[in-house]
């Protein structure tokens, strides 16, 4: 969310940013916010003047009451008339003040509601385009290989190891769920454990957060559009199942004032994730690619504004390093303006190579949200001299989400005989197992 003063001082810049994000329907919001802000400031000014006048009138009545006791009958009439006039003015001012306070609250709510919808200012380096078709490949890491033998669909590979049961999940939970079994389930857990230790090795603090959060935290970390498309609400309670642990990890700092020596906050978190995943999806998004429940290791950073772009660079490179350590080719894809969620100023995807599809697909997403989440959640930092406070920047990135990552892993490590090799970094997490042998 933007600073209201920034919108007030830079309306055309804010509108141009909206156009760059191909959200022209939101253009009227800028003028509406500015108009409401002007009315709100006028109401605040009038209320302040009325309070000052009320104090003056109240103070003026004090000496008049003293005079009233000593005055002659003729003088008392005039003094009493003045007292009554002052009290009538105070009463009228009280009524107007109450009205202005109601107006202030209304204006404040209307401004906030609109400000939540105005997208963050994108970084100048972001490519301009309407949707993900305009995303730009930046660089590749590792050589993509297409083997001279068939690579089956990922669920078929898993079934050869008796590693997945989607029919049973359909009976218990419906579409979009799965049972992982045996070696495939162990591989899933091994990747998560390795990712956890990988990030701890980078100096991040490991955390297991709450898997449900209040509505004000949801509103603080994401746009209404994302919320409606993703979040499951607990009926009858102010609780939502998290779609990613970023939500509760950034929410950890809601209404807090950090000191500069507490920055940066570098945290890596494990959680299950729950998503509605509305709409129909293509054949390549069957199986465990797009599902309602999965597990993920996440990284988040809360830092000084001047450090956020350096952290952004570090974070996406951590993902590349992790995937390359498991011998999976990846590429970095810069997200264009129209593909950025409203709170993001810059974002990139790390995509893994799919030998079966002969193309890359998303496995990680790294985002810099500048101070948008901090402003919504009222997260502040006290300067080292203790004289001022400012808003920190927040960033997040997927370390690994095993269901989708398993697709890349199995396809890239599948051998001609149907076995799957285990890279050396995972041997300790697989009990020393170096090759998975299919059961059928």
- Residue 22 reports pLDDT greater than 90: yes
- Weakest mean pLDDT among 69-78, 212-221, 402-411: 69-78
Q: Are residues 108 and 137 in the same domain?
A: no
CATH number at residue 27: 1.10.287.40
pLDDT in tens, 142-163: 999 999 999 999 999 999 999 9
- Residue 130 reports pLDDT greater than 50: yes
Q: Are residues 429 and 345 in the same domain?
A: yes
Q: Are residues 161 and 186 in the same domain?
A: yes
Q: Are residues 210 and 95 in the same domain?
A: no
Q: Are residues 57 and 111 in the same domain?
A: yes
Q: Within a domain: residue 308?
A: yes
Q: Are residues 357 and 248 in the same domain?
A: yes
- Residue 213 reports pLDDT greater than 90: yes
Q: Are residues 145 and 287 in the same domain?
A: yes
Of 115, 143, 174, which residue constitutes the final position of a domain? 115
- Weakest mean pLDDT among 37-51, 68-82, 388-402, 412-426: 68-82
Q: Within a domain: residue 156?
A: yes
Q: Are residues 314 and 369 in the same domain?
A: yes
Q: Within a domain: residue 428?
A: yes
- Cα–Cα distance, 360 to 406 (Å, whole number): 14
- Residue 12 reports pLDDT greater than 80: yes
Q: Within a domain: residue 127?
A: no
Of 68, 83, 115, which residue constitutes the final position of a domain? 115
Q: Are residues 157 and 102 in the same domain?
A: no
pLDDT number for residue 283: 41
pLDDT number for residue 49: 86
pLDDT number for residue 98: 87
Q: Within a domain: residue 383?
A: yes
- Split into its structural domains, the chain has a count of 2
Of 82, 115, 148, which residue constitutes the final position of a domain? 115
- Residue 174 reports pLDDT greater than 50: yes
CATH number at residue 164: 3.30.930.10
pLDDT in tens, 349-371: 999 999 999 999 999 999 999 99
Per the structure, the complete domain to which residue 398 belongs is given by: 132-436
Q: Are residues 336 and 223 in the same domain?
A: yes
Q: Are residues 74 and 136 in the same domain?
A: no
Strand duo 380-382 + 257-259: pairing: parallel
Q: Within a domain: residue 125?
A: no
Say what angle helices 11-20 and 27-70 make with each other, to 10 degrees: 150
pLDDT number for residue 70: 58
Q: Are residues 323 and 407 in the same domain?
A: yes
Q: Within a domain: residue 121?
A: no
Q: Within a domain: residue 25?
A: yes
Q: What percent of the chain has pLDDT over 70?
A: 89
pLDDT in tens, 31-72: 999 999 999 999 999 888 888 877 766 665 555 555 555 555
């Amino acid at each position: 969310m933007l600073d209201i003063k920034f919108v007030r001082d830079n309306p055309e810049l804010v509108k141009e940013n909206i156009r760059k994000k191909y959200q022209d329907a939101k253009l009227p919001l800028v003028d509406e916010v500015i108009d409401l802000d002007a009315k709100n400031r006028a109401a605040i000014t009038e209320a302040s003047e009325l309070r000052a006048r009320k104090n003056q009138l109240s103070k003026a009545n004090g000496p008049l009451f003293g005079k009233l006791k000593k005055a002659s009958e003729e003088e008392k009439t005039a003094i009493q008339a003045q007292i009554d006039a002052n009290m009538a003015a105070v009463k009228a001012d009280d009524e107007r003040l109450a009205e202005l306070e109601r107006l202030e609250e209304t204006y404040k709510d209307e401004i906030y509601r609109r400000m939540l919808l105005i997208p963050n200012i994108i970084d100048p380096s972001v490519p301009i385009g309407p949707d993900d078709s305009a995303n730009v490949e930046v660089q590749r890491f590792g050589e993509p290989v297409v083997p001279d033998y068939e690579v089956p669909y990922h669920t078929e590979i898993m079934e050869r190891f008796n590693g997945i049961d989607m029919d049973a999940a359909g009976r218990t939970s419906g579409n979009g769920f799965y049972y992982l079994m045996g070696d495939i389930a162990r591989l899933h857990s091994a990747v998560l454990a390795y990712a956890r230790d990988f990030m701890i090795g980078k100096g991040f603090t490991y955390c297991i957060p709450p898997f449900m959060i209040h509505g004000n935290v949801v509103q603080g970390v994401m746009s209404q559009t994302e919320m409606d498309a993703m979040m499951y609400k607990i009926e009858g309670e102010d609780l939502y199942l998290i779609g990613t642990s970023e939500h509760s990890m950034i929410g950890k700092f809601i209404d807090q004032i950090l000191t500069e020596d507490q920055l940066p906050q570098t945290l890596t978190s494990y959680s299950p994730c729950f998503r509605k995943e509305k709409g129909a999806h293509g054949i390549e998004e069957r199986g465990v690619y797009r599902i309602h429940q999965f597990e993920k290791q996440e990284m988040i950073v809360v830092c000084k504004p001047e450090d956020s772009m350096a952290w952004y660079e570090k974070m996406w490179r951590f993902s590349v390093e992790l995937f390359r350590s498991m011998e999976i080719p990846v590429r970095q894809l810069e997200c264009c303006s129209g593909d950025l969620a409203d709170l993001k100023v810059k974002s990139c995807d790390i995509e893994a190579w799919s030998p079966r599809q002969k193309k890359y697909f998303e496995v990680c997403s790294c985002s810099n949200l500048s101070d948008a989440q901090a402003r919504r959640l009222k997260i502040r930092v006290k300067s080292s001299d203790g004289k001022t406070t400012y808003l920190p920047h927040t960033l997040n990135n997927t370390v690994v989400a095993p269901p989708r990552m398993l697709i890349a892993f199995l396809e890239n490590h599948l051998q001609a005989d149907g076995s799957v090799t285990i890279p050396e970094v995972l041997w300790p997490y697989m009990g020393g197992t170096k090759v998975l042998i299919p059961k059928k």
